[in-house]
Amino acid sequence: MSDGAVRYLPPLAGFDEGTRGTVTNHRMREVTEQVAQRGIWNSGLLAEVRDLFDSLAPGWTATRDHPARNAPLLDALDRGGVEGRTVVELGAGTCISSRALVGRFDCYVAADLSPVMLAHAVDGAPPLLCADASRLPLGDGVVDVFILQNMLLFPAEVDRCLASGGALVWVNSRGPETPIHLPTPDVLASLEAASGSAWRALASTVGEATWAVVRRA
């Protein structure tokens, strides 16, 4: 199935976290749209987001580390044909996904705004980077793959750092009910507005989770 620049692959069965309830009016949904669609990000928002995730960090792994957690991401990498040497996961939290990814890429870095999240990183975590994703300490075009799972999208910075032929892997673990959520067409629109270039995506679902692998057209 195709919808303009987005090609949808068949869905797969997967884990369902629907018991948490709908959160479409969550404060982080508002922040997500402000950042990606209107470019609003300042010291107040930075502090708000950092403080929220600092407070959630002590219980993060215990409430989210289940066997099916990585299924949407791994499906995106496999069916999305994602390859590359240098991978940066933004919003990595306590690095729950790292155990499935460290051996898959030559260079994998886990970045997060919250120092407390990174302080609670799981055993076997990759190199850690505490950074504001709107101003990454990275050179232009040095990242082959960006992984963003339930993470704010800073489209101009992704475009700046992403290598030619690189890919952005966008995962929302609860689909439209994820607090930090953008539909795939909105991800493309944000990147196109920031870069002045066309983008395309492969997308699918695993259970309630949605994913997209986004590349320059």
* pLDDT tens digits along 94-110: 999 988 888 899 999 99
- pLDDT band at 19; cut points 50, 70, 90: very low
Helix, strand counts (H, E) of the chain: 7, 9
Number of CB atoms found within 10 A of residue 38's CB: 10
**Contact yes or no for 205/211 (Cβ under 8 A):** yes
Q: Give pLDDT tens digits for 191-216.
A: 999 999 999 999 999 999 999 999 99
| Domains and their CATH numbers in the chain | 2-216 (3.40.50.150)
